[in-house]
Amino acid sequence: HDNEIIGRAEEEMSSGNAIHLWYCEGVQIECNLVRGHRDGIYLEFADHSVIAHNVSEDNLRYGLHFMFSNDDEYHHNEFRRNGAGVAVMFSRRIAMYGNAFEFNWGRASYGLLLKEIYDADIHHNRFRENTIGIYVEGSARIRYLNNDLERNGWALKMSGGCLSNTLSENNFLGNTFDLSMNSAPGDNTFDGNYWSEYSGYDLDRDGRGDVPHQPVKLFNYVVNRTPESIVLLRSLFVDLLNFSEKVSPVFSPPGVVDHRPFMKKINRNP
């Protein structure tokens, strides 16, 4: 803890990681500043560990990269301007809270990449100005609670094999696309979030919209099929396309609905 590890890495193949754990248990990594390496913090087979109050920025690949590491906690860290963001893979029973994932831009950049993660809690985090805020693949029983997803290209992308995930009391603020799915929604639930794109009403004044919100736009479907169409973003044509889908849903995946969206931004305590 309390280290500054500053590198000058220019190429992934000729550089190393700032902090590297392999086959460890019960390790605490706290209050470090890591900058300018391949991966800021790398863990493999590191169980029952705590990574907290670190700043990992300006690394070539991942600010945090861990695999096959179970029962870990990651809280109150800042990950920013890393080449590919943060990657969390092949792990169970993890908790990530109070973290900031910011300014990770590029064709393969994510605030947070989740691949084959099971039984996790992701809450009170901030995902701001990333190409993709959260990308999830093959992950189940993850609870997303009270996160802010703000001004990302895609706030949340869900790929195949994502089951029994719950999104509740999250703020989706000014993202180009709030939600993208390339497979059936399964038993994932999206109720009780705030969506800045929501244009419904609240006649009974209980703070919840009376009209369900469908966060997947038709143009999102078009972009997934034909990526080049992104050049039409913010055009009148796209506005008309999305409006027509809202009036008469045809391509919006059934089941991807917030039945009780919040009318106002949800306050969170990090």
CATH no. for residue 214? 2.160.20.10
143-166 as b/e: b if 16+ CB within 10 A: ebbbbbbbebbbbbbbbeebeebe
Which domain does 33 fall in, by range?
Answer: 4-247
Residue 259 pLDDT greater than 80, yes or no? yes
Burial (CB < 10 A; 0-12, 13-18, 19+), residue 123, is: buried
What pLDDT, in 10s, does the model give residues 86-120? 999 999 999 999 999 999 988 778 999 999 999 99
SS3 of 237, please? helix
Tokens (6 digits) for 42: 């790398």
Please check whether residue 205 lies inside any domain of the structure.
yes
Of 31-35, 106-110, 198-202, 209-213, which one has max mean pLDDT? 31-35
Mean pLDDT of 120-149: 97
Name residues whose C-beta falls within 8 Å of residue 195's C-beta, 6 or more positions apart in sequence.
172, 178, 213, 215, 258, 261
Please check whether residue 82 lies inside any domain of the structure.
yes
Tokens (6 digits) for 126: 């901030």
Query: Rounded to 10 degrees, what is the CA torsion of 145, 148, 151, 155?
Result: -10
Please check whether residue 111 lies inside any domain of the structure.
yes
What pLDDT, in 10s, does the model give residues 22-68? 999 999 999 999 999 999 999 999 999 999 999 999 999 999 999 99
What's the domain count of the chain? Answer: 1
Residue 231 pLDDT greater than 90, yes or no? no
Query: How many whole angstroms separate alpha carbon 144 and alpha carbon 172?
Result: 12
Please check whether residue 269 lies inside any domain of the structure.
no
Of 12-16, 75-79, 81-85, 222-226, which one has max mean pLDDT? 75-79
Please check whether residue 265 lies inside any domain of the structure.
no
Query: How many whole angstroms separate alpha carbon 249 and alpha carbon 43?
Result: 44
Please check whether residue 267 lies inside any domain of the structure.
no
Please check whether residue 114 lies inside any domain of the structure.
yes
pLDDT of residue 14: 78
94, 120 Cβ separation under 8 angstroms? yes
Please check whether residue 40 lies inside any domain of the structure.
yes
